[in-house]
Copies of this chain bind each other. A is one copy, B any other.
Amino acid sequence: MSQVISVQRDVSADARHKADDFRRMMTRQGTLVVNLMSSPGAGKTSLLSATARRFGSPARIGILVGDIATDRDAQRLAHLAPTVQLTTGGACHLELPLVQRGWEALATHEVDFLFIENVGNLVCPASHDLGEHRRVVMLSTTEGDDKPAKYPKAFRTSGALVISKLDLLPHVPFSVDAAIADARATQPKLAVFPLSVLCGDGIEAWCDYLLEERRKLLTAGVEAVHA
């Protein structure tokens, strides 16, 4: 039997201060930081591809992609925008120090948007502030419209909800209205973007939202919307 005695400080307050410092630094240089969370396979990487394509070249986008293993997502994105793969080696979510190392490793800091694609997990990432300005939760139509009530923290701490894979609606039992009602019962202020990366529906509204959020950042600073 091993025995460990540990002295634990208030690490959460410490982490919060560091996240605020990172957020302030990014605000000063005019880069809107977006933390994208969802279940595995909801389409985070596909949405970032479509977003980069919509913004065109030069897109002034940087991407940090978090995964437990492999660099497959970074391979999919690298031809569209400067991308760094963050590999957690087992951990179920991203934390700020890894994000900061990823930011340092990006080929350019001259970006209007820094997208952080979190590990595919609708639970744990919601508890970690990555210094983002906007937290966005994605829910795909194939996951079922009952998920916001069952996984409340990811929805409660987000500023926007992307409902993805609208093209599959004819084939799955999913009510967009029910999902939105469930999500807004948890977080009334959620901006909602139903879309299909495959068909392109809704991508324009999503990109307009991003541009508008950055405009707010440049004019007045943006408050982070999470606990």
Residues of A within 8 A of B (CB): 1-10, 13, 39-41, 67-70, 72, 90, 92, 119-124, 140, 142-144, 146-147, 149-153, 165, 167-168, 171-172
Residues of chain B within 8 A of A140, CB atoms compared: 41, 142
The CA of A168 and the CA of B165, in the complex, are separated in Å by: 12
Residues of chain B within 8 A of A40, CB atoms compared: 39, 122, 143-144, 147, 150-151
The CA of A5 and the CA of B7, in the complex, are separated in Å by: 5
Q: How far is the CB of A140 from chain B (nearest CB, A)?
A: 7
Partner of A3, one of B9, B68, B152, B165: B9
6 nearest A-B pairs in the assembled complex, by CB-CB distance:
A41-B143, A142-B142, A92-B123, A39-B40, A39-B39, A4-B8
The CA of A36 and the CA of B60, in the complex, are separated in Å by: 43
Partner of A121, one of B13, B67, B121, B144: B121
Residues of chain B within 8 A of A1, CB atoms compared: 9-10, 13
Q: Which residue of B lies closest to A46 (CB)?
A: B144
The CA of A69 and the CA of B167, in the complex, are separated in Å by: 29
Does A2 lie within 8 Å of B10, measured CB to CB?
A: yes
The CA of A176 and the CA of B110, in the complex, are separated in Å by: 41
Q: Which residue of B lies closest to A141 (CB)?
A: B142
* Contact A41:B147 (CB < 8 A) given known A3-B8, A13-B1: yes
The CA of A192 and the CA of B115, in the complex, are separated in Å by: 36
Q: Which residue of B lies closest to A170 (CB)?
A: B171
* Contact A150:B39 (CB < 8 A) given known A6-B6, A7-B5, A8-B4: no
Residues of chain B within 8 A of A121, CB atoms compared: 92, 121-124
Q: How far is the CB of A226 from chain B (nearest CB, A)?
A: 15
Does B142 lie within 8 Å of A70, measured CB to CB?
A: no
The CA of A1 and the CA of B149, in the complex, are separated in Å by: 33
Task: Count chain B CB atoms within 10 A of each CB in A124, A151, A167 and give the residue with the most.
Answer: A151
The CA of A67 and the CA of B146, in the complex, are separated in Å by: 12
Q: How far is the CB of A91 from chain B (nearest CB, A)?
A: 8
Q: How far is the CB of A175 from chain B (nearest CB, A)?
A: 14
